[in-house]
Amino acid sequence: MAEGEKTLNAKELSMKWKELSDLGPELLRYLAEQVPKIYCLGPEPQLTQEEEQAGALLLQPLEWYLFGEDPGTGLEKLQQSSTSSQLCGRVFKEGETTYSCRDCAIDPTCVLCMDCFQNSVHRNHRYKMHSSSGGGFCDCGDLEAWKTGPSCTTHEQGAAGDMETGAECVLEAGLRERAQKLFRVLLRYTVDMLVWEERFELPSELQPSANEDAYYCVLYNDEHHSYDHVIYTLQRSVHCNQREAHTHTALIDKEGRRAVKRGPLQACREAKELIRSNSEHISLQPLRVEILHSHVMAHQSFALRLGNWFQQIINYSVGFRQVFCQVMLEPRSLVDSHSLVGSLMLYDAKLYKGARKIVHELIVCSLLMETEYKRLFAIEFAKHYKQLQIDFINDDHEHSISITALSVQIFTVPTLARQLIEEGNVLKVIIDTLMEMLSEHLDNNNRFHFQGYNSDKFFRIQVVFHDLKYILISKPAVWTRKLRQQFLEGLQMFLRMLSCMQGMEEVKRQFGQHIEVEPEWEAGFSIQIQLRHILSMFQDWCSADEEVLLQAFKESHAALRQCTNQTFHSEATDSYMCKHILHSRPYKVSQEPVSIHLPISRLLAGLYVHLCRTGAIERLREYIDTSCDFSLLMEYPLRCVVLAAQVSAEMWRRNGLSLVSQVYYYQDVKCRDEMFDKDVIMLQIAASKLDPNSFLMIILQRFELFDVFNGNITCKDQDLVKQWNRLTEEMLHLLIIVTGERYIPGISHVLKEDMTMREVIHLLCIEPMAHSSLVKALPENENNETGLENVIHKVATFKKPGVSGHGLYEVKKECLKEFNPFFYHYSKSQHSKAEDAQKKRRNQEINDKALPPPVPPAFSPDFAKIVQLLCCDIFVYVLRTVLQRAVEDRATLWNEAMIQRALHLIAQALIEEKQQLETCSEEEVAFDFSLKAKKNGSEHGKSLLHLLGRLKGLPPLEAQKDMIKWNLQMFEIVKCLREKSSPSSSTSVDHAKPEESVQDKEKAERKRKAEAAKLHRQKIMAQMSAMQKNFIETHKMLYESTPESTGQGGPSETLESSSAMILGESRVAVGPKRGVTLAEREVLTCILCQEEQEVQARGPAMVLTACVQRSAVLTQCRGKALPNTETFVPLYMSPDLAVGTHTGSCGHVMHALCWQKYFEAVQNTTRNRLHAELIFDLENAEYLCPLCKSLCNTVIPIIPLETLKLNYENAELVGQLLTLPRWIQIILARIKGLGSATQGDEKSSDIDSSFSVENPADFRSILSFGVQAPTRYSDSINEMLVVCATTVYRVGLKVAPNEIDPRVPLMTWNTCAFTIQAIDNMLEEEGKPLFGSLQNRQHAGLKALVQFAAAQRLKSPQAVIQKHFTGLFAALIPNMKIEGTPCILDVDLFHLLVGLVLAIPALYQEEAVDLQPSPVSSSCNHLYILHLITMAHVVQIVLSSDDPPGMMGEDAGEEDQAASELYQAMIRCTEGLRGDLPGWCVAERVNKGVLPFLRCTALFFSCLTGVAPPEELSSTAVSPEGQMEALCSYLALPRNLFQLFQDYKETVPPLLQRWCGDPAVSQALKQEASVIQYPRKRNRLIELPEDYSCLLNQACHFRCPKSSDEDKKHPTLCLFCGAMLCSQSPCCQEEVDGEEVGACTAHAATCGAGVGMFLRIRECEVVLMASKTRGSTYPAPYLDDYGETDPQLGRGNPLHLSPERYKKLHQLWQQHCIMEEIARSLEVVSVMFAFEWQML
Q: Is residue 1114 close enough to count as binding Zn ion by CB under 5 A? A: no
* Dihedrals phi, psi of 1110, to nearest 5 degrees: -70, 145
Which one of 1622, 1640, 1665, 1705 is in contact with Zn ion (CB under 5 A)?
1622
- Residue 644 vs 1154, nearer CB to Zn ion: 1154
Identity of residue 361: E
Q: Is residue 143 close enough to count as binding Zn ion by CB under 5 A? A: no
Which one of 1616, 1654, 1674, 1733 is in contact with Zn ion (CB under 5 A)?
1616
Q: What is the number of other CB atoms lying within 10 angstroms of the CB of residue 1368? A: 26
- Residue 1152 vs 1565, nearer CB to Zn ion: 1152
Q: CA-CA distance, 320 to 429, in Å (whole number)?
A: 33
Nearest to 402 by CA among 385, 415, 384, 389: 389
Query: One symbol per residue from 1588 to 1607: x for binding Zn ion (CB under 5 A), - otherwise; what is it?
Result: ------------x-x-----
Size of the site for Zn ion (CB under 5 A): 36
Q: How far is the CB of 1637 from Zn ion (least distance, A)?
A: 13
Query: Which segment (308-316, 852-860, 959-967, 1190-1198) binds Zn ion by CB under 5 A?
Result: 1190-1198
Q: Is residue 1089 close enough to count as binding Zn ion by CB under 5 A? A: yes
Which one of 104, 504, 1428, 1621 is in contact with Zn ion (CB under 5 A)?
104
Q: Is residue 1146 close enough to count as binding Zn ion by CB under 5 A? A: yes
**Residue 989 near residue 996, CB atoms below 8 Å:** no
Query: 1115: helix, coil or strand?
Result: coil
Nearest to 1306 by CA among 1074, 1131, 1144, 1076: 1131
Q: Is residue 1402 close enough to count as binding Zn ion by CB under 5 A? A: no
Q: Is residue 1358 close enough to count as binding Zn ion by CB under 5 A? A: no
Q: Is residue 1185 close enough to count as binding Zn ion by CB under 5 A? A: yes
Burial class (CB in 10 A: 0-12, 13-18, 19+), 316: middle
- Residue 413 vs 869, nearer CB to Zn ion: 413
Q: Is residue 1101 close enough to count as binding Zn ion by CB under 5 A? A: no
Which one of 1619, 1713, 1727, 1735 is in contact with Zn ion (CB under 5 A)?
1619
- Residue 1072 vs 1648, nearer CB to Zn ion: 1648
Q: CB-based contacts of 1733: which residues, under 8 Å, 6+ apart? A: 1641, 1665, 1668, 1669, 1670, 1671
**Residue 609 near residue 681, CB atoms below 8 Å:** yes
Which one of 14, 27, 31, 90 is in contact with Zn ion (CB under 5 A)?
90
Find the Cα–Cα–Cα–Cα dihedral 1145, 1147, 1152, 1156, rounded to 10°. Answer: -60
Which one of 259, 879, 1076, 1154 is in contact with Zn ion (CB under 5 A)?
1154
Which one of 62, 106, 138, 289 is in contact with Zn ion (CB under 5 A)?
138
Q: How far is the CB of 105 from Zn ion (least distance, A)?
A: 7
Q: What H or E segment, with its residue span, contains residue 1603?
A: none
Q: How far is the CB of 1197 from Zn ion (least distance, A)?
A: 14
CA distances from 459 to 134, 349, 455, 463, 1656 (A): 18, 17, 6, 8, 31
Which one of 287, 1614, 1642, 1662 is in contact with Zn ion (CB under 5 A)?
1614
Query: 709: helix, coil or strand?
Result: helix
CA distances from 1332 to 502, 836, 1033, 1323 (A): 75, 46, 10, 11
Site residues (CB under 5 A) for Zn ion, limited to 144-173:
152, 154-155
Q: What H or E segment, with its residue span, contains residue 721?
A: helix 718-740
Q: How far is the CB of 899 from Zn ion (least distance, A)?
A: 53
Which one of 181, 1148, 1701, 1720 is in contact with Zn ion (CB under 5 A)?
1148
Which one of 357, 1151, 1232, 1658 is in contact with Zn ion (CB under 5 A)?
1151
Query: One symbol per residue from 34 to 73: x for binding Zn ion (CB under 5 A), - otherwise; what is it?
Result: ----------------------------------------
Cis peptide before 264 (omega within 30 of 0): no
What pairing do the DSSP bridges indicate for beta strands 573-577 and 257-263? unpaired
Q: Is residue 1086 close enough to count as binding Zn ion by CB under 5 A? A: yes
Q: Is residue 1162 close enough to count as binding Zn ion by CB under 5 A? A: no
Q: How far is the CB of 135 from Zn ion (least distance, A)?
A: 15
Q: Is residue 1642 close enough to count as binding Zn ion by CB under 5 A? A: no
**Which pairs count as long-range contacts for 1676-1683, CB under 8 Å and 24+ apart, including other chains?**
1677/1584, 1677/1701, 1677/1702, 1677/1704, 1677/1705, 1678/1588, 1679/801, 1679/806, 1679/807, 1680/771, 1682/770, 1682/771, 1682/772, 1682/798, 1682/806, 1682/807, 1683/770, 1683/771, 1683/798, 1683/800, 1683/801, 1683/806, 1683/807, 1683/808
Identity of residue 431: I
- Residue 624 vs 1187, nearer CB to Zn ion: 1187
DSSP 333: -
Q: How far is the CB of 1727 from Zn ion (least distance, A)?
A: 23
Query: Which segment (136-144, 1284-1292, 1390-1398, 1712-1720) binds Zn ion by CB under 5 A?
Result: 136-144
Query: One symbol per residue from 1645 to 1664: x for binding Zn ion (CB under 5 A), - otherwise; what is it?
Result: --x-----------------
- Residue 6 vs 123, nearer CB to Zn ion: 123
Query: Which segment (114-122, 391-399, 430-438, 1506-1514) binds Zn ion by CB under 5 A?
Result: 114-122
Cα of first residue to Cα of last residue in the chain, in angstroms, is 49
- Residues 655-664 as b or e (16 or more Cβ within 10 Å = b): bbebbeebbb
**Residue 535 near residue 599, CB atoms below 8 Å:** yes
Query: 628: helix, coil or strand?
Result: coil
* Dihedrals phi, psi of 217, to nearest 5 degrees: -100, 115
Q: How far is the CB of 1099 from Zn ion (least distance, A)?
A: 13
Q: Is residue 1627 close enough to count as binding Zn ion by CB under 5 A? A: yes
* Dihedrals phi, psi of 184, to nearest 5 degrees: -60, -50
Q: Is residue 116 close enough to count as binding Zn ion by CB under 5 A? A: yes
- Residue 1076 vs 1149, nearer CB to Zn ion: 1149
Q: How far is the CB of 1602 from Zn ion (least distance, A)?
A: 5
Q: What is the number of other CB atoms lying within 10 angstroms of the CB of residue 491? A: 24
Q: How far is the CB of 158 from Zn ion (least distance, A)?
A: 9
Which one of 531, 1628, 1697, 1708 is in contact with Zn ion (CB under 5 A)?
1628
Distance from CA of residue 1033 to its chain's centroid?
Answer: 44
Query: Which segment (77-85, 815-823, 1141-1149, 1667-1675) binds Zn ion by CB under 5 A?
Result: 1141-1149
Query: Which segment (99-107, 363-371, 632-640, 1314-1322) binds Zn ion by CB under 5 A?
Result: 99-107
Site residues (CB under 5 A) for Zn ion, limited to 1441-1460:
none
Q: CB-based contacts of 1592: which residues, under 8 Å, 6+ apart? A: 97, 114, 129, 1657, 1658
Q: Is residue 218 close enough to count as binding Zn ion by CB under 5 A? A: no
Q: How far is the CB of 312 from Zn ion (least distance, A)?
A: 18
Q: Is residue 110 close enough to count as binding Zn ion by CB under 5 A? A: no
Q: Is residue 1711 close enough to count as binding Zn ion by CB under 5 A? A: no
- Residue 122 vs 1485, nearer CB to Zn ion: 122
Q: Is residue 1720 close enough to count as binding Zn ion by CB under 5 A? A: no
Q: Is residue 1714 close enough to count as binding Zn ion by CB under 5 A? A: no
- Residue 268 vs 1084, nearer CB to Zn ion: 1084
- Residues 207-224 as b or e (16 or more Cβ within 10 Å = b): ebeeeeebbbbbbebbee
Q: In the complex, which residues of this chain contact Zn ion (CB under 5 A)?
A: 88, 90, 101, 103-104, 113, 116, 122, 125, 138, 140, 152, 154-155, 1086, 1088-1089, 1146, 1148, 1151, 1154, 1185, 1187-1188, 1190, 1600, 1602, 1614, 1616-1617, 1619, 1622, 1625, 1627-1628, 1647
